[in-house]
Structure 1
Amino acid sequence: MPQRLLRTSHIAPPPAASAFADFEFRGWEALSEAYDDVWGPVTAAFAPALLAAAGVRQGSLVLDLACGPGYAARAAEAAGAIVTGLDFSPRMIRLARAASPGIAFATGDAHSLPFAPASFDAVICNFGAQHFADPGRALAEMARVLKPGGSCAFTVWAENCLNCAGDVLDRAVESFASADTEVPRGPDYHQLTNPDGRTRLLRRAGFERTSIRSSLCAVTWRMRSPHDLFEAELRGSVRSGARLREQGEFRLSCIKAAMEADIRGRFASGEGFSLPLAAYVACAQAPDSL
């Protein structure tokens, strides 16, 4: 997308001020390359459902918010869209630019988007909403930059009864991790996974109530080792990874062993392991008139 859409005086505003926002920012700056390595193929698998929900097509002006290394942005470009990617992490943006030099990427804060009103046909956000310090404010910004009738769509991990990666991790952490933690508490994740909670957030953000809908998207993570999930969380996850990294050597070894045993017991498949993953794809439309 042409760089003229960006207000140059707001190319890289600081993230929304809070201990949680600072934690997230520092985490993604430190783990951007590791995230790209271990989580890239996993989260990119949800991009087709995200683009379909947002109605991305040839010629669409699309904003990929919290774009990370640019997986959804590249999928949108491949569909013929004109794409801008935005992330608050400069290191993520460097990765995205290196992988996709033809896409316009910039740093910026989801809570104060550096774009004029009615700039985009669609805004997509692949697993970014759970990392926002104020999801409602970020959704209101999405609504602001959408053209009348434009669509937003975002993905969030489903509950553990549906998303087995979360179930395996949480079982082990609850059994062996210390109750003490320095990980700051973020916004209530239930408001994103609960249908009524999502509807309230989207309505308050200014989206049309009758347009709000959600679907469940399921993919399978084909793992070669039962340790793949533990290593991905430890190396490439900001919040859950921080819980692991603050454990002592003994507790961490217990968590790793418990996760391995769980995966071997429930998800062995041929010579590898098949871990079911699930996420909600939520979408809504901006009003037809400003």
Structure 2
Amino acid sequence: MSTTASAAAADWTIVDEGWGRKAVDFATLSEPANCREYVALHHRLGVTEGDKLLDIACGAGLSIELARARGAQCAGIDAASRLIAVARDRNPASDLRVGGMHALPWADASFDVVTSFRGVWGTTPAALAEIHRVLAPGGRVGLTVWGHLKQSSGVWALMPFRLAAEPKVRNQANMVSLGRPGVGEELLAGFGFTEVERISIPFAWEFADPETYARALASTGPAYEAIQNVGEPAFLERAVAQAQEQVRDGLPLRAEIAVTGYLARKEVS
């Protein structure tokens, strides 16, 4: 494991500081808008009755709830203990654990499907080795990452994240590099995956008003990085002002953002 990967593996325990501090807000205000993304990837993977599915960086467990609706037997892992508490409340019969993606606590070849929705990034590529290990031969993997943000009409909704300190902003840019053309394909192939396919995933955030948008955004990890730098009142003020420019009479705030998906398989030995 490289020095960078080692650092990422060691740092997973601090994720709850950012993502867990407002777990209920995230689960009820932010995550529901991800449903299009979850449903689309499950559909393309053909998730079905009897599949054993692992969701990495499962957050508050909505994607697991939707996979269970398709008949899958689900497990999940997230570094934020307070998000896992919500996920367990939603999915009491699923195997949900607090932990890091670089050392998955399951045996080799345990799953037919592994998913991660914007959980594996350009800064955490070694997680793919663990995904490959826990997948059964012929098993399917599906990942999503941010796509071409500059060409997304809804990129305005991400702008308050740039209030973070400059090193954090640079790290955010490194994270989303996995969505660049050819990068994800090369990375998956390098970890032994086959039949790698790049797809476009539907994604749109919708909110009732600027204040709801700001509260939802503040519940996320990247927002926490900005809040650490400028304080929560300043972050919320900026987010509300950003959203007020997008208000449409009689319609919700809507931010369509490019999301890229990757589909692949573990080769049958």
Structure-2 change in CA distance of 1:279 and 1:23 (3 Å): same
- Equivalent residue number for residue 197 of structure 2: 213
Identity percentage of aligned residues: 27
SS of 1:282's partner is strand
One-letter identity of the residue aligned with 1:80 = G
> Counterparts of 1:53 and 1:30 in 2: how far apart (Å)?
33
Change (3 A) 1:259 1:24: same
Q: 1:244 to 1:146 in 2, by over 3 A?
A: same
Map of 2:4 onto structure 1: none
What is the aligned residue count? 263
Which of 69, 72, 85 aligns to 1:78? It is: 69
Gaps of 5+ in 2: 1-6
Residue of structure 2 aligned with 1:145, choices 127, 134, 152: 134
Q: Paired residue for 2:115?
A: 124
Unaligned runs of 5+ in 1: 1-13
Q: Which residue of 1 aligns with 2:210?
A: 226
Shift of 1:253: 6.8
The aligned counterpart of 1:11 is: none
1:159 aligns with 2:129: no
- Hey, what's the Cα distance between the residues in 2 that align with 1:248 and 1:107? 28
Pair member with larger Rg: 1
Distance change (3 Å), C-alpha of 1:252 and 1:29: closer
CA–CA separation in structure 2 for the residues paired with 1:16 and 1:116: 19
Deviation at 1:249, TM superposition (A): 7.9
In structure 2, distance between residues paired with 1:178 and 1:145: 35
> Which residue of structure 1 aligns with residue 58 of structure 2?
67
Summarize the alignment of residues 239-278 of structure 1 with structure 2, pairs less than 5 Å apart. Answer: 239-247=222-230, 252=235, 255-256=238-239, 258-264=241-247, 268=248, 270-278=250-258
Q: Which residue identity is paired with 2:196?
A: I
> What are the equivalent positions in structure 2 for 1:173-192 lying under 5 Å apart?
177=163, 185=171, 188-192=174-178
Task: Give the distance between the partners of 1:193 and 1:82, measured in 2 at CA.
Answer: 29
Structure 1 residue 203 corresponds to structure 2 residue 189: yes
Q: Could you tell me whether the CA contact under 8 Å between 2:26 and 2:220 is conserved in 1?
A: yes
Q: Taking structure 2 as the reference length, what is the TM-score of the superposition? A: 0.85
SS in 1 for 2:254: strand
Distance 1:178 1:37, change over 3 A: closer
Contact 1:88 1:108 in 2 (8 A): yes
d(CA) in 2 for partners of 1:147, 1:111: 18
1:228-256 deviation per Cα after TM superposition (whole angstroms, max 9, x unaligned) = 3332222x111234214521588547623
Q: Deviations over 1:78-132 (max 9, x none)?
A: 11111112222222221111112122212222101111111111101122123x8
Task: Give the conservation status (yes or no) of the 8 Å contact 1:65–1:125.
Answer: yes
